[in-house]
Structure 1
Amino acid sequence: MVAADGAGLLGLPFDETAARLAAAGIRPVHTAACWRVLYRDAPVAELPARLRTLFEAAGPSQLADPPIAARTDSRDGATTKYLLRLDDGQQIETVIMGYPGRFTACVSTQVGCAMGCVFCATGQMGFVRNLSAADIVAQVRFVARQLAARGERLRNVVLMGMGEPLHNYDAVMQALAVVSDPHGFGISPTRITVNTVGLVPGILRMAAERRPYSLGVSLHGSTEAERAALVPVSRRWPLADVLDACRAYCAETGRRIFFAWTLIDGVNDSPAHASRLAAQLVGIDAHVNLIELNPTPGYAGRGASRPAAETFRRVIQDAGIPCTIRQRRGVDVAAGCGQLRAERQPPARTAQAMR
């Protein structure tokens, strides 16, 4: 989404936009007007001539949405999944989820994913490339426009689409600076969730930089071997290290962490698993979200039964930890947790090694 000559304005933080304008001989006082055009759909005609020229040089993708390659609506009408085509032909999935009184955008941060979680469709497709900050911001703008056309407003953003956000840390944080800026989309940082499978350096960096966004951490296993079988990156950053990083994060920021646990029948859904998890979360301000396993082509496991999920929740709650069984969304259109995969994806390029 960024012009090849580096002239792109989409996805730049406010101060960097001002600096880009100044370098082009445009007074920084016009930065707010520039952002109104970029993120509030103000007419380009309100800009000074030199700034209009800068937009023209940056290319049409600065203002146009990514083309829709496919759209699928869930039967209940609450979820819409879009397959969006990027400038280089790669494709990503972006989801709008409707809840009573609010709408949430589920946004991708990579084309594919290098983490390889066995039950996740994105992990099964492998890693292709990182998204730029502009690619990420363009998804949020796309959703905001789709909702505005229906008279609705975007309220929450979750980075739980394709990819591992902390594997693309710099672009993600740059994009979120735009999404949360009052001049941009003005979405409160507390309504933005960055979800990770446990990249320890990224968790510690978020803490050290005092990033104001909510943090979600996917665990799925209560022993090292169990988790590594489901989340291969656990061999690089073991469960104990992830939990230590979470304790450091809470101590540094004073904020709660939302832990995700996908319940798989006969794998990690027993009361013993719940008891071990509760014991491991001692010293962490935690909320546990239980997720029923959603079907994907590359994994044969089954979701836990509802009684097993209720028992698991009860064990966690009895330990004094808030626990919720997450409401399933968009499963019938493969838009649920772990189901996003760009089926019409062009052939993948060689995957970049994890940094």
Structure 2
Amino acid sequence: MTDVSTPITQDLVTIPRKLPEGPLNLVGLTREALREALVAAGTPEKQAKMRTGQLWQWIYQKGVRIFDEMTNLSKEYRVLLAENFVVAIPEVVSKQVSVDGTRKYLVRIAGGHEVETVYIPETDRGTLCISSQVGCTLTCSFCHTGTQKLVRNLTAGEIIGQVMLARDDLGEWPEPGRNPVNTARLLSNIVLMGMGEPLYNFENVRDAMKIAMDPEGIQLSRRRITLSTSGVVPEIARTATEIGCLLAVSFHGTTDEVRDKLVPINKRWNLEALLDALRDYPKVSNSERITFEYVMLKGVNDTDEDAHRLVELIKGIPAKVNLIPFNPWPGAPYERSSNNRINAFAEIVYQAGYASPVRKPRGEDIFAACGQLKSATERSRKSRKEIAAEAGIG
């Protein structure tokens, strides 16, 4: 295992919010950064806090992106804003809708790169699965995104922009004069389970989620946001203290030997180190359990012995176990466990006192299910044999 003193921030280029020859995009700026930008553009210091609050509400509570439509600002001030700033979000290149109502957006960001975002409607909620990186560095062998090379981190604006474009598509911005707090939420939950490892892009993820949770903006409760990590141990505690959201862990293996192949980050922070960090997670409690995500792979990690080992490993951690039937993709080196095997595994976990729901695959017909996300422009040409060889199962 790599010493924890080793820097874990990836050496990636994040496209700056301001291009040298263009206006500054206000989307994704923290409140303090927004205030500083307004002052630098000529807003009097005494007005800066008020102007920041006004713009914040227009952008994140009302979804307005044209300064001329921000009617509580003077015409002169709107001109100043238009000369120095823009309110821009990523472009939706295409939208696919599954037979089950799941929507998958192909989203273009700065530099022409593309990521995928998925909206999953359910009877009691609407969940948006958002991406944090272009591609992924973790090369988890069962995940389609893991076969795509990592390009760069997303900016905070590109992350929160995915929430904003989904609200556009859902028609969820409030009508003038309507209180957004008292309206039904089509987009009620966020999961950071799309492309990329969120904890390798911590600061941008944190800033974006603070915008999502802001009571004068999009107004999502921190308990309606779940961050999923493959196990970046040094950043796990920061998730609780600096974001405060719920935590999920891509677990998938009950021995280091198996998890090394399925989730290669395990070679850096093994099961013991990961579980120690989870036991110390500042927000873990019976009411805020850690979710262990466990993809069911036929003949790999789905035996009764695996189930019993899993129960022993997580003993003492308030937790639930989400069992995920493997979602196949072209060239995948694995097969989905049978329903009988999944149900038997779930029963062992349940009898040990842990909730063990089996996730219903959503959007499989449009490749929007868990582990299937991968943008078309960055699509790998790897064969099944090459992928299996990298996973160490060939």
Q: Provide the C-alpha distance between the structure 2 equivalents of 1:204 and 1:102, rounded to a whole number of angstroms.
A: 28
How far 1:271 sits from its partner (Å)? Answer: 1.0
Amino acid in the other structure paired with 1:101: D
Q: Do residues 295 (structure 1) and 325 (structure 2) align?
A: no
Indicate which of 83, 96, 118 corresponds to 2:106: 83
Q: Deviations over 1:236-294 (max 9, x none)?
A: 111111111100105x6543111100000111111110000000001111110000000
Equivalent residue number for residue 63 of structure 2: 41
Q: 1:52 to 1:256 in 2, by over 3 A?
A: farther
Give the match's secondary structure for 1:127.
coil
Equivalent residue number for residue 352 of structure 1: none
Q: Provide the C-alpha distance between the structure 2 equivalents of 1:140 and 1:261, rounded to a whole number of angstroms.
A: 26
Q: Provide the C-alpha distance between the structure 2 equivalents of 1:57 and 1:297, rounded to a whole number of angstroms.
A: 47
**Range moving further from structure 2, 143-152 or 164-173:** 143-152
Matched residue pairs, number?
A: 341
Q: Provide the C-alpha distance between the structure 1 equivalents of 2:267 and 2:379, rounded to a whole number of angstroms.
A: 30
Indicate which of 319, 325, 330 corresponds to 2:363: 330
Equivalent residue number for residue 353 of structure 1: none
Q: 1:57 to 1:23 in 2, by over 3 A?
A: closer
How far 1:195 sits from its partner (Å)? Answer: 0.3
How far 1:75 sits from its partner (Å)? Answer: 1.7
Q: Provide the C-alpha distance between the structure 2 equivalents of 1:345 and 1:273, rounded to a whole number of angstroms.
A: 35
Q: 1:283 to 1:51 in 2, by over 3 A?
A: farther
Indicate which of 206, 209, 216 corresponds to 1:183: 216
Unaligned runs of 5+ in 2: 1-14, 174-183, 381-394
Q: 1:30 to 1:22 in 2, by over 3 A?
A: same
Q: Do residues 12 (structure 1) and 29 (structure 2) align?
A: yes
Q: Provide the C-alpha distance between the structure 2 equivalents of 1:206 and 1:182, rounded to a whole number of angstroms.
A: 20
**Range moving further from structure 2, 168-177 or 65-74:** 65-74
Q: Provide the C-alpha distance between the structure 2 equivalents of 1:121 and 1:52, rounded to a whole number of angstroms.
A: 46
How far 1:326 sits from its partner (Å)? Answer: 1.0
Q: Provide the C-alpha distance between the structure 2 equivalents of 1:253 and 1:320, rounded to a whole number of angstroms.
A: 17
Identity of aligned residues (%): 37
Equivalent residue number for residue 351 of structure 1: none
Q: Do residues 29 (structure 1) and 50 (structure 2) align?
A: yes
How far 1:345 sits from its partner (Å)? Answer: 3.2
Give the match's secondary structure for 1:88.
helix
How far 1:69 sits from its partner (Å)? Answer: 1.9
Question: What is the root-mean-square deviation of aligned Cα atoms in Å?
Answer: 2.0
Q: Provide the C-alpha distance between the structure 1 equivalents of 2:142 and 2:159, rounded to a whole number of angstroms.
A: 24
Contact 1:121–1:298 (CA under 8 A) maintained in structure 2: no
Q: Deviations over 1:126-146 (max 9, x none)?
A: 211000000001101011111
How far 1:149 sits from its partner (Å)? Answer: 5.8
Equivalent residue number for residue 259 of structure 1: 292
**Range moving further from structure 2, 86-95 or 65-74:** 65-74
Q: Do residues 246 (structure 1) and 278 (structure 2) align?
A: yes
TM-score by length of 2: 0.82
Contact 1:69–1:84 (CA under 8 A) maintained in structure 2: yes
Indicate which of 249, 253, 276 corresponds to 1:217: 249
Unaligned runs of 5+ in 1: 348-355
Q: Deviations over 1:95-123 (max 9, x none)?
A: 11110132111100000000110011111
How far 1:52 sits from its partner (Å)? Answer: 4.5
How far 1:19 sits from its partner (Å)? Answer: 3.2
Give the match's secondary structure for 1:260.
strand
Listed as ranges, the matches of 1:138-287 within 5 Å are 138-148=161-171, 153-207=186-240, 209=241, 211-250=243-282, 253-254=284-285, 255-287=288-320
Amino acid in the other structure paired with 1:236: R
How far 1:212 sits from its partner (Å)? Answer: 1.5
How far 1:37 sits from its partner (Å)? Answer: 2.5
